[in-house]
Chain A
Amino acid sequence: MKLGQVKEILEAELLVGQENLDLEVEMVCGADLMSDVLAFTKPDSLLLTGLTHPQVINTAEIAEIKAVCFVRGKRPPAETIERAKEEGIPLLCTPLLMYESCGRLYSHDLPGCSQVEEK
Chain B
Amino acid sequence: MTVKEMAERAELEVLVGADGLDVEVTGGYAADLISTVMANAKQDNVWVTWHLHPNIVAAALIVKLSAIILVSGRQPEQETVQRAQQEGMPILGSSLPAFEIIGRLHGMGILGTV
Question: Do A112 and B113 have beta carbons less than 8 Å apart?
Answer: no
Chain A: residues with Cβ within 8 Å of the partner, total of: 28
Question: Do A103 and B32 have beta carbons less than 8 Å apart?
Answer: no
Chain A CB within 8 A of B48 CB: yes
Chain B positions within 8 Å of A, measured between CB atoms, are: 28-33, 36, 40, 48, 50-51, 72, 95-100, 102-107, 111-114
**27 A-B pairs with C-beta separation under 8 A:** A29-B97, A31-B97, A32-B31, A32-B33, A36-B72, A50-B31, A50-B36, A72-B36, A72-B40, A96-B114, A97-B31, A98-B30, A98-B31, A98-B112, A99-B29, A99-B31, A99-B102, A99-B106, A100-B111, A100-B112, A102-B30, A102-B98, A102-B106, A103-B112, A106-B103, A112-B97, A112-B100
